[in-house]
Amino acid sequence: MKICVLVKQVPGSDSPLKISDDQSWINEENVNFITNESDNYAVEEALQLKEKLGEGEVVAVSLGPERTQRTIREALSKGADRGIHIEESYPYASDPLQIARTFASVLEGEQFDLILSGLQSDDFGFGQVGVILGEMLGMSTSTLVMETELADGKMKVKRELEAGWFQWVNLDLPASISIQSGINTPRYPSLKGIMGAKKKELNKVSVDSNNEPRQSISKVYIPKKTKRTEMIVGTVDYQVERLVEVFKKDLRIL
Amino acid sequence: MSVFVVVEQSNSGVHRMSWEALAGGQALGRDLSLPVSVVLMGENVSALAESFQSKDVKEILKVETPLLSNYSADGFSSALAQVIETESPKYVIMGHTYMVRDFLPRVSAKLGLPFLADNIAYGVEDGSLVLSKQLFSGKLVADVSPNGDGPCIISFQSAAFQEEDVTDGSGASVRDISISLDENTIRSRPEEPFQEAAGAVDLSSAEVIVSVGRGIGKEENLPMVKDLVQAMGAELASSRPVVDAGWLESYHQVGSSGQTVAPKLYFALGISGAIQHVVGMKGSKNIIAINKDPEAPLFELADYGVVGDLLEIVPKLTETLQG
């Protein structure tokens, strides 16, 4: 079984998010880039599926600038077999249709049985690329997957619905599915894995983009505050004292 | 040229977020002088159609075939793509539900049309539509515009519009739209929905909720939160990372994949305020947030904010309350 896992490098949640002067994106200086959270679960699920089957190949694919290779190497060090880095420079594509077209043009010849992606990226948060790519490559799709089963060339996924409900969905292969965080416990790379990853194949490809975006970001800004918030500032003792006062006098809940 | 609001069905009829989407579609229709119609898809949507007879819509468009009796990404995306192709609406609007995330990107890909997803608001600048979408879990917002002419698909986040703002009207005409679906093109077959670990706690009726997030750090710190819950006579809730880590059962979870709550007080400990959590608790009457990070988005929503270490504050607070 040939499994593709889409990974993305995004600013870590502790990184400062300073808006660039032209307000088109953030200023990337001092930003600590990490692998997108739900993509870690997708990588783990891909590796576990391969391990259960006892055969197959896991290919980690990412679109981004040079630094993105670190995220691909991380997947390789955990056990992915090879990587594909689709090169992109600033300004980054910010249309999921355009991004998926780029992936499709690189991946169509690969004939993957299964494509896994995280449910959404922590930066743009479109949550669309895996589904669109599935459509473009003629695959069945499912999203927010919390469990996978694979038997006799058929895929069965437990899909998360709203408000605590779930549903099993039977899918024909090939399929592209997006993975919800919490589906598994992502492994850490071993030292041996890290050393081995250096020797694994990582192909860099560039795509000549005759591929116009159908949507564009015109401006990025800090949300306008709509609520008046009382910030309780002071020593811990004062903060506790004020909280108790708020409970009793302002909210009358105790 | 018109606005289409595509309705999602839930067990009880119309999905709550479809009413919100209709309120948004009607507002957009007024601002851009476009008529608004609703699209209903299913095996038999006659009963559903009646829900919209008294609303201010031009047409109720019915798309009926047995292959739409159960939801499938293939079936629903193919059906809606055909409706958009034959009817050429200017805007196609839905609530940003889990079902929409599952099939609407396929419609966008089938037709090569922009899908502007998960917006919190819209504006009109020089006659053109601009949508606002949260980035980085709500820490930033982006204004996004569709490029080119032709239909544009839009989804709105929960509570971007209010169900109460749907305007009434009369004289909506009902029209059937025929589509063709081939059973062999539907490659996913759903089983019956089910609930896991059904709620030992009914958070929806709780007066006071103490909710704990990633900021708790480790499982060993949970007892101090439980002590506070007891001292306040509250119910315990959490954000997703705490459940994912296996520290609390999933029925404690508040947010898009958990419960929706509206207590008198929502006391958030170490919860940054990612959108997926906020949609489940922003209806709370009062919100107090404790977080180490002064930039945590939840402070934007809170009535009271405490920047500090919850591991220090919580035990002292419990002690004082037990006084």
Per-residue model confidence as pLDDT tens digits over B207-233: 899 999 999 999 999 999 999 999 999
- What's the mean pLDDT when you consider all of chain B? 93
Confidence of residue B198 (pLDDT cuts 50, 70, 90): low
Domain match, B177 and B278 both: no
Number of domains chain B is built from: 2
In this prediction, residue A198 carries a pLDDT of 94
CATH number of A2-206: 3.40.50.620
**How far apart are the CA of A208 and the nearest CA of chain B, in angstroms?**
19
pLDDT at A232: 95
DSSP letters, A114-178, are: EEEEES--SSS----HHHHHHHHTT-EEEEEEEEEEEETTEEEEEEE-STTEEEEEEEESSEEEE
Contact (CB<8Å) A125/B147: no
Does residue B231 sit within a domain?
A: yes
B97 lies within 8 A of chain A by CB: yes
Q: What is the CATH number of the domain that holds B15?
A: 3.40.50.620
B197, part of any domain: no
| Distance (Å, whole) CA A66 – CA B238 | 38
Instruction: Examine the domain organization and report whether B166 and B269 are in the same domain.
Output: no
- Residues whose CB is less than 8 angstroms from the CB of residue B89 and which lie 6 or more positions away in sequence, other chains included: B1, B2, B3, B4, B37, B151
pLDDT given for residue B323 in this prediction: 82
B219 and B86 share a domain? no
Tens of pLDDT, residue by residue over B90-100, are 999 999 999 99
CA distance A103 to chain B (A): 13
User: What ipTM was estimated for this complex?
Assistant: 0.91
- Residues B67, B150: one domain? yes
User: Could you tell me if residue B75 is inside a domain?
Assistant: yes
Print the SS3 string covering B163-181: HHHCCECCCCEEEECCCCC
Contacts of B137 in chain A (CB under 8 A): 13, 122, 125
**Nearest residue on chain A to B261, alpha-carbon basis:** A163
d(CA B281, CA B197): 21
Per-residue pLDDT tens over the stretch B63-115: 999 999 999 999 999 999 999 999 999 999 999 999 999 999 999 999 999 99
* CB-based burial label for B174 (10 Å; 0-12, 13-18, 19+): middle
Paired strand residues for A140: A175
- Residues of chain A with Cβ-Cβ distance to B304 below 8 Å are 229-232, 243, 246
Domain shared by B175 and B210, yes or no: no
Position B191 in a domain: no
How high is the pLDDT of residue B184?
93
**B256 contact residues in A (CB cutoff 8 A):** 162
Give the Å distances, CA to CA, from A205 to A27, A103, A111, B46: 26, 11, 17, 52
Task: Inspect the interface and report whether the beta carbons of B144 and A123 lie closer than 8 Å.
Answer: no
User: Do residues B282 and B171 share a domain?
Assistant: no
Number of Cβ within a 10 Å radius of residue A208:
6
B91 part of a folded domain: yes
- Residue B194 placed within a domain: no
Would you state the pLDDT for residue B272? 93
Q: Which of A100, A141, A219 lies closest to B73 in CB terms?
A: A141
Higher-confidence residue of B4 and A225: namely B4
Q: Are residues B104 and B215 in the same domain?
A: no
Asked if A223 and B306 come within 8 Å (Cβ–Cβ), the reply is: no
Do B135 and B209 fall into the same domain?
A: no
Where does a domain end: B156, B185, B214? B185
User: Are the beta carbons of B257 and A97 separated by less than 8 Å?
Assistant: no
Q: Which residues in B lie closer than 8 A to residue A175 (C-beta atoms)?
A: 187
Strand partners, A18: A27
Cα–Cα distances in Å, from A83 out to A52, A59, B93, B284, B322?
A: 21, 5, 38, 46, 58
- In chain A, which residues have their Cβ closer than 8 Å to the Cβ of B265? 247, 251, 253
Of B185, B220, B242, the residue that ends a domain is B185
pLDDT number for residue B200: 59
pLDDT of residue A97: 96
Q: Tell me, yes or no, whether B177 and B55 share the same domain.
A: yes
> Which among B43, B256, B136, B155 has a CA at the least distance from the CA of A161?
B256
Q: Where are the alpha helices (DSSP H) in A24-146?
A: 37-53, 69-78, 96-107, 129-136
pLDDT band at B197 (very low <50, low <70, confident <90, very high): low
Where are chain A's structural domains? Answer: 2-206
Answer whether residue B283 shows pLDDT above 90: no
> By the 8 A CB rule, do A96 and B112 touch?
no
Give domain status of residue B230, yes or no: yes
Contact A162 B97 (CB under 8 A): yes
Q: Distance (Å) from the C-alpha of residue A215 to the closest C-alpha of chain B?
A: 4
The one-letter code for the residue type at B29 is: G
Residues in A touching B272 (Cβ below 8 Å): 13
Query: Which pair of structure tokens corresponds to residue A82?
Result: 């090879």
pTM of the model: 0.87
Enclosing domain of residue B294:
203-322
Same-domain status, B166 and B229: no
Asked if the C-beta of B105 comes within 8 angstroms of chain A's C-beta atoms, the answer is yes
Is B167 found in the same domain as B30? yes
Rounded percentage of chain B residues whose pLDDT exceeds 70? 98
Running DSSP on this structure, what letter comes out for residue A248? I
Q: Is B112 helix (H, G, I), strand (E, B) or coil?
A: coil
Using CB atoms and an 8 Å cut-off, which of residues 232-251 of chain B contact chain A? 232-233, 240, 243-244, 250-251
Q: In this structure, are B211 and B68 located in the same domain? A: no
- Whether B196 is covered by a domain: the verdict is no
Task: Give me the tens of pLDDT residue by residue for chain A, a chain 254 residues long.
Answer: 999 999 999 999 778 889 999 999 999 988 999 999 999 999 999 999 999 999 999 999 999 999 999 999 999 999 999 999 999 988 888 899 999 999 999 999 999 999 999 999 999 999 999 999 999 999 999 999 999 999 888 899 999 988 778 999 999 999 999 999 889 999 999 999 999 999 999 999 998 767 889 999 999 999 887 778 999 999 999 999 999 999 999 998 88
Min distance B313 CA to chain A CA atoms (Å):
6
* Predicted local confidence at residue A152, as pLDDT: 83
Asked if B7 and B50 count as a contact pair (C-beta separation under 8 A), the reply is no
Percentages of chain A per state (helix, strand, coil), in multiples of 5: 30, 30, 40
**Which CATH number characterizes residue B255's domain?**
3.40.50.1220
Residue A64 phi, psi dihedral angles, 5° rounding: 165, 180
CA distance A152 to chain B (A): 15
Residues A106-153: tens digit of each pLDDT: 999 999 999 999 999 999 999 999 999 999 999 999 999 999 999 888
